[in-house]
Amino acid sequence: MVKLTFYGGVNEIGGNKILLEDKGTKVFFDFGQSFTFGADYYTGWLQPRGVNGLGDYFQFDLLPRIRGLYSKEQLANTNLPYTEPEMSAIFVSHAHFDHINHLQFIDPAIPVYTGVGTKLFMESMEETSSFCDYGEHTCNKFRTGDKIKIDGITVETIHVDHSIPAAYGFIIHTSAGPVIYTGDLRRHGPRKDLTEEFIEKARAAEPIALITEGTRMAETEKRQNYSEPQVRKLADDVVSSTDKIVFAAHYSRDIDRFNSFYKVAKKNNRKLVITPKTAFLLTKLLDDEHLTVPDPLKDDTILVYYKRKKSASYEEKDYFVWERAFMDKIATHEYVRKNQKNIIMDLDFFQFTELIDIKPKAGSIFIHSMSEPFSEEDIADEVMHNWVDNFKMQFHQMHASGHMAKDQLVEMVNYIQPKQAFPVHTENQQLFKTLCKTIQVVEKEKQYTL
């Protein structure tokens, strides 16, 4: 008897927590945090206390009470007693927050399986962010095509294209037949061939079940979505037709997007000014021979922006140890101010105060290369536009999604032909059901027998 239970990612985008049980073997696939997690109880500075572990989460039923899953320390102030691990493994599809963030609560005695590149992303985040700690798990790394035996089941790992490198889908060979889990994936990215390969293998497996993401399952899409080459082309059009500085805001772990702006900078003889955090991540990713990224210490196109801190005079001791490695490539606000026409600069929302020092000339460019806001009442969006307007910058929106469009999702499910399909990571299961015959609408924490 094989059983599936969905503890997260149900009727919400992100937060996937999928338990597969096969004759006493229990394996989780992803253990992430949804984007709206805890928003009914916690906001702004009102946040769960680290010192109280899971106590501040169980109070509001924010995480499932599962025995043999969480660490002793996390359970100390709760009424769920600690027991020896009952899970054999946790598999991680990719290093996005909504798939990994709750690993922090898991018993370190439970081994975690990640892609080689995923582990590098996780290490980089733990090093450069004070909020990030995924726990001291034994981490077993895999590559595409590996077949990992966990007691009676075998997990086959297959690369897919997504908005972060080292994203994987899984074919889980169980005693009842193959179960497919897509993770997050797209068919319009620079490596769409990876996704195509995954879909072919998934179909060939003749699965009894398909757990599929459905981020973009919606009647109509309000957001403009491009492919990655289109984003690069649009960015190049903008950069090549201005003699002003160009700022770009994009997700720091989207290496495809980084490469797009890097190539545009190179082509237009501009320097690409990145944050120490991005420089650190790139240095880390150089360890994965399957990824192509420039070395920030050696590459002539790249400079690293240092904010003024503490002494305000760029002394080495003002910065975290991990930040100091790139000071030979320093770009200060003065340098940026004096060389505006020769620069594309990464500038996310939380770095906007740097604009006060940089003083961009009127008519400078701000490219928002991330998804558009979810609603018109998005306060951060309003603040962003106030800044852009105050500095008299021109605003451009251009983004390629990490997820398949609706029609592609339907086509994928119908092509793979699973006996039944379980939609996760979606707010629109009902629409899925009207479009695909085999959809089983998922209820949170209900057990499904395959």
Chain residues in the site for Zn ion (CB under 5 A): 96, 184
- Which residue, 120 or 388, is less far from Zn ion as judged by CB? 120
Q: Hey, what are 37's tokens?
A: 């997690």
- Residue 182, SS3? coil
Residues in the chain: 450
CB of 214 to Zn ion, least distance (A): 13
Residue with tokens 């027998």: 449
CB of 1 to Zn ion, least distance (A): 31
CB of 9 to Zn ion, least distance (A): 11
- Which residue, 162 or 277, is less far from Zn ion as judged by CB? 162
Residue with tokens 């984007």: 35
- Distances in whole angstroms, Cα of residue 270 to Cα of each of 249, 295, 327, 339: 17, 17, 20, 10
- Which residue, 105 or 168, is less far from Zn ion as judged by CB? 168
CB of 111 to Zn ion, least distance (A): 22
CB of 162 to Zn ion, least distance (A): 6
- Distances in whole angstroms, Cα of residue 119 to Cα of each of 17, 124, 129: 19, 9, 15
CB of 94 to Zn ion, least distance (A): 6
Helix/strand number for the chain, H first, E second: 14, 20
- Residue 177, SS3? strand
- Which residue, 178 or 402, is less far from Zn ion as judged by CB? 402
- Of 79, 81, 77, 80, the residue nearest 52 (C-alpha): 77
> Could you tell me if 450 and 177 are in contact, meaning their C-beta atoms sit under 8 angstroms apart?
yes
CB of 225 to Zn ion, least distance (A): 15
Report which residue type is found at 416. Answer: I
Report which residue type is found at 381. Answer: D
- Which residue, 29 or 306, is less far from Zn ion as judged by CB? 29
- Which residue, 5 or 16, is less far from Zn ion as judged by CB? 16
* Cα angle 62-9-59, degrees, rounded to a multiple of 5: 5
- Which residue, 368 or 403, is less far from Zn ion as judged by CB? 403
- Which residue, 96 or 368, is less far from Zn ion as judged by CB? 96
CB of 159 to Zn ion, least distance (A): 14
CB of 95 to Zn ion, least distance (A): 8
> Could you tell me if 169 and 202 are in contact, meaning their C-beta atoms sit under 8 angstroms apart?
yes
DSSP notation for 207-239 = -SEEEEE-TT--SS--S----HHHHHHHHHHHH
Report which residue type is found at 222. Answer: K
Q: Hey, what are 383's tokens?
A: 């603040």
- Which residue, 58 or 168, is less far from Zn ion as judged by CB? 168
- Residue 170, SS3? strand
